[in-house]
Structure 1
């Protein structure tokens, strides 16, 4: 028998049928199991003595270089790049939209803890007066940056369930297209009334909130378990790619006369979201077996590594079991802590670099994007390494999840603590921020994929639940940061912002590492499975 990969479930906890047949009995105390398939053929399952994980003779990886599953992953990557382009554009554009004046200091650092203006040849002129259209103070800016997440939190709750009922293609596609349309009309609304602009940002969050749960639902159907970490990492790396592209481009657009300057940041990225939707409609399908051009070899491979893990029809959600599950709470808690740190930097980094380190608008977008470029590269490379180690049996699935979560949380925690000591060293500040975001790139092999580990049938619903909880920082972090720095744009105020994020990284990651599981939970079979509990199980060892 050729061992092609690991199944991330301990043998003693496995109670289900696998591809090729049902495990009927244990043949010896060492490794072998007999298997009888419906066709009458038999096979052998073996256990690695070093990893204690089950190896199966599953279908080979197709020889074709590019398959239908790769098209889905690429379109998902581009879709998330588009969504974050429409989400992040305000973080950069708001610097040009509002009126504010900063006073340069002649000393290296004055008694109030502010940094001096760059000397000759620096990034900014001696005058830091920026004549924007809107007279919004720090609190109002914080509310505008947080508005998106009010809608985002609500739609995450039902986005996954909608995808499970109507298909991830439809729900995710319309979510991004509608967000694009709302982004295009945002500048008009801002000029009419700030309340209307706030409402549009809430609606954008509402339409975009279904995207992550919908993609999780699609991945649980399309991503073979041996490729799940890599595929998830690549798809969600679109978040960093979109951020990397958006920040410098928005910084440049805000300094041009194209479409009036800052409004072009909303027109262009909104238009890209709409254009993406056209390609998504024609190239992506909800199920591998529905794809008209998928090869038989690829279809066999996908179904061979996902069969039994994902129901074709939605099941009734076992709410009681979910909300009494310890691994679920560990997952949700880390999602909250990681989101706080991520959203603090995502929404406030341009403001910090502009007001504290005195980068100008053109440099601000480019410099703000650099940490996310590092995160993008780390996430892709790290996922490839983890996938290679998993296929060779060098690390278990639970090992990948715990290691990845630790790197993605404890690394940024230490970096944010270090941010309290960089003071006015602009270069060092940027290096530390790059380190923080780069290490966080391991997150996509960590808790982000745990939803599919725990319950493939409810991957969308679980992501909707934890992402709703994880969206609270998207609302709270900009508001808290705005309150801390309101009228107090000093190093001391920003140290408080960074330390708060560091504490949440540490505590929530510790809970996750201690209590998470990589095993499919019994409630994955849904509510109907409980009624059949007394009928007996055919797959007991």
Structure 2
């Protein structure tokens, strides 16, 4: 689901409960939120951190609008360039037309994720996030020209866009490691990351409308221009670190710095690669996100095809109905972030339990509705309803596994995001390849597509429930934190 794309941070210092950050003892196995002094907390309304979240939200809305526009626009492109179907076409209409062309799936890969996350963690994420969106938007402006030159040029252009888009989420993670107070991370990060769902929701119907009204090239000109405009605003108003922000209040700056502590600094040039590669919680994140992304890429690249070839909705209805699931996911993502933070702040559950609970629900319920879609047959209302509910409920996992990198390793959150995002694009390659074109033109074929997606979702939920964790990992601590932990151990042994 689209919530799968959301990868965000949480946890700053492994402190046990207490009233002061200076008096709370360290415990390597603790996964409760670090508490701060009883100073008044600066309100979020009109704050620098909320403005940052909103601008990120807008940026990811643009990125995912650019990402999905080809899925709908391609229907118009194919109809324009090849209006007459081949005489020997073997396409079989799976359902009758609803009362009263084939789509070329486009998987938008992210090969720059790992280096982008590494450099963002070292230098700061604002430049990489801004440049990533700007490059993607500029290349989108060239899409009509590439399409005229041939399919190979279009494929190459979309691959280059993947490089630009691939650095954005790791850069976001690196920035939140420095900006998001631990008690607010779920809501801030789910707000910013939910821009992906919102962008898909807006772009899918808008692309169909623009294609029919102004022609398909206008889709890429307008979307590309919006991305370039966003980049200008981003570079004017955003800073990597609250210490260097020109418009932040002293109260808010001190609150953020004190609550995050030493984990809110860059990780330097060296990273503990061996320890990371042997980290079970990290592999639980990677595997679970890959499983969830399978469902996401299935819908992202194939839903317009399903609506067009199987349900026979027209281009305008296709875009609107394909967008409905992402509206639900956007709303559910933001609501889940608020609930998750509330459970952690009130100490109802530990971070580990919250992450597992939201991930389990956010993967199992969508799997159930994927199965339900396969039994809906040609009932247009049920099919759209079940698909919408499946993606909507997938938003519950947003404050779960998708922000877990910052729980286990705040300083390396951007780099870990790059790793998990890179692995997470594998389903973007495999899912369309395994969904053979002829298979997806029959109802029986689509049943297999939905059943496979449901089974993979369930597998990911079980893996994370068993092996996931919200505890900061020993290899992620700073030198000072490791030394302090050793001191505390020595004191406990001596007493």
Instruction: State TM-score, norm by structure 2.
Output: 0.89
Instruction: Determine the C-alpha separation between the residues in 2 that align with 1:387 and 1:69.
Output: 16
Structure-2 residue corresponding to 1:198? 155
Residues 326-346 of structure 1, C-alpha deviations (whole Å, 9 max, x = no match): 101111000100111011101
Instruction: Determine the C-alpha separation between the residues in 1 that align with 2:234 and 2:292.
Output: 30
Instruction: Determine the C-alpha separation between the residues in 2 that align with 1:330 and 1:313.
Output: 23
Structure-2 residue corresponding to 1:401? 355
The reply to whether residue 514 of structure 1 matches residue 466 of structure 2 is yes
- Equivalent position SS for 2:173: helix
Instruction: Determine the C-alpha separation between the residues in 1 that align with 2:96 and 2:193.
Output: 38
Structure-2 residue corresponding to 1:28? none
Instruction: Determine the C-alpha separation between the residues in 2 that align with 1:336 and 1:320.
Output: 21
Report the alpha carbon displacement of residue 23 of structure 1 after superposing the two structures with TM: 3.3
The reply to whether residue 436 of structure 1 matches residue 390 of structure 2 is yes
Instruction: Determine the C-alpha separation between the residues in 2 that align with 1:496 and 1:522.
Output: 43
Instruction: Determine the C-alpha separation between the residues in 2 that align with 1:58 and 1:516.
Output: 32
5+ residue gaps, structure 2: 1-10, 87-91
Report the alpha carbon displacement of residue 533 of structure 1 after superposing the two structures with TM: 7.2
Residues 58-114 of structure 1, C-alpha deviations (whole Å, 9 max, x = no match): 5432147311111111110000001001101011111111147789xxxxxxxx781
Distance 1:212 1:535, change over 3 A: closer
Structure-1 residue corresponding to 2:438? 486
Residues 193-223 of structure 1, C-alpha deviations (whole Å, 9 max, x = no match): 1100000000000111000000000011100
- Equivalent position SS for 1:23: coil
Q: 2:456 aligns with which of 504, 524, 527?
A: 504
Residue correspondence of structure 1 range 64-213 to structure 2 within 5 A: 65-98=45-78, 99=82, 114-119=94-99, 121=100, 141-142=104-105, 145-146=106-107, 148-149=108-109, 152=110, 154-213=111-170
Instruction: Determine the C-alpha separation between the residues in 1 that align with 2:43 and 2:61.
Output: 29
Residue correspondence of structure 1 range 168-317 to structure 2 within 5 A: 168-256=125-213, 258=214, 261-312=215-266, 314=268, 316-317=270-271
Instruction: State TM-score, norm by structure 1.
Output: 0.82
Distance 1:241 1:298, change over 3 A: same
Distance 1:487 1:223, change over 3 A: closer
Instruction: Determine the C-alpha separation between the residues in 2 that align with 1:468 and 1:64.
Output: 33
Structure-2 residue corresponding to 1:352? 306
Instruction: Determine the C-alpha separation between the residues in 2 that align with 1:201 and 1:490.
Output: 29
Native 8 Å contact 1:8 1:519 kept in 2? no
Residue correspondence of structure 1 range 407-426 to structure 2 within 5 A: 407-426=361-380
Instruction: Determine the C-alpha separation between the residues in 1 that align with 2:189 and 2:26.
Output: 34
The reply to whether residue 363 of structure 1 matches residue 317 of structure 2 is yes
5+ residue gaps, structure 1: 1-5, 26-46, 104-111, 122-129, 131-136
Native 8 Å contact 1:165 1:314 kept in 2? yes
The reply to whether residue 524 of structure 1 matches residue 476 of structure 2 is yes
Report the alpha carbon displacement of residue 538 of structure 1 after superposing the two structures with TM: 3.1
Instruction: Determine the C-alpha separation between the residues in 1 that align with 2:485 and 2:98.
Output: 75
Structure-2 residue corresponding to 1:537? 486
> For the aligned residues, what is the CA RMSD?
2.7
Report the alpha carbon displacement of residue 300 of structure 1 after superposing the two structures with TM: 1.4
Distance 1:476 1:313, change over 3 A: closer
- Equivalent position SS for 2:25: strand
Q: 1:20 aligns with which of 19, 22, 26?
A: 22
- Equivalent position SS for 2:378: coil
Aligned residues: 469
Distance 1:184 1:329, change over 3 A: same
- Equivalent position SS for 2:313: coil
Residues 421-453 of structure 1, C-alpha deviations (whole Å, 9 max, x = no match): 000000000100011001111121011110000
Native 8 Å contact 2:61 2:198 kept in 1? yes
Report the alpha carbon displacement of residue 315 of structure 1 after superposing the two structures with TM: 5.1
